[in-house]
Amino acid sequence: MQELREKKQRGERITALTAYDYPTARLLDEAGIDVILVGDSLGMVVLGYKDTTQVTLGEMLHHTRAVSRADTHALVVADLPIHTYDTPDQAVRSARELVEAGAEAVKLEGGISRVAQIKAIVDDGIPLMGHIGMLPQSVREEGGYKVKGRTAAEAVTLLEDAHAVEGAGAFAVVLEIVSSGAAREITAALSIPTLGIGSGNGCDGEILVTHDLIGLFPWFTPKFVKPEANVAAEMRAAFRAFIDRTRRTQKASQV
Site for ligand KIV, rule CB under 6 A: 18, 37, 39-41, 79, 174, 176, 197, 207, 209
d(C-alpha 36, C-alpha 227), whole Å: 18
Smallest gap from Cβ 38 to ligand KIV, in A, equals 8
Residue 130's DSSP bridge partners are: 173
Which residues are CB-neighbours of 29 under 8 A, at least 6 positions away?
Answer: 36, 70, 72, 73, 74
Smallest gap from Cβ 159 to ligand KIV, in A, equals 20
User: Nearer to ligand KIV by C-beta: 39 or 127?
Assistant: 39
User: Nearer to ligand KIV by C-beta: 50 or 240?
Assistant: 50
User: Nearer to ligand KIV by C-beta: 144 or 252?
Assistant: 144
d(C-alpha 26, C-alpha 33), whole Å: 10
Smallest gap from Cβ 105 to ligand KIV, in A, equals 13
User: Nearer to ligand KIV by C-beta: 159 or 207?
Assistant: 207
Whether 12 is catalytic: no
d(C-alpha 210, C-alpha 221), whole Å: 11
Burial class (CB in 10 A: 0-12, 13-18, 19+), 51: middle
User: Nearer to ligand KIV by C-beta: 39 or 244?
Assistant: 39
Smallest gap from Cβ 5 to ligand KIV, in A, equals 19
Residue of 44, 91, 36, 41 lying closest to 66 (CA atoms) = 36
Instruction: Give one word for 125, left, alpha or beta, with left for phi > 0 and alpha for psi -120 to 50.
Output: left
With contact defined as beta carbons under 8 Å apart, do 230 and 213 qualify? Answer: no
Q: CB nearest ligand KIV: which residue?
A: 39
Residue of 35, 137, 24 lying closest to 70 (CA atoms) = 24
Smallest gap from Cβ 52 to ligand KIV, in A, equals 6
With contact defined as beta carbons under 8 Å apart, do 103 and 77 qualify? Answer: yes
The catalytic residue among 176, 185, 206, 228 is 176
Instruction: Give one word for 100, left, alpha or beta, with left for phi > 0 and alpha for psi -120 to 50.
Output: alpha
Enumerate the active-site residues.
Answer: 176
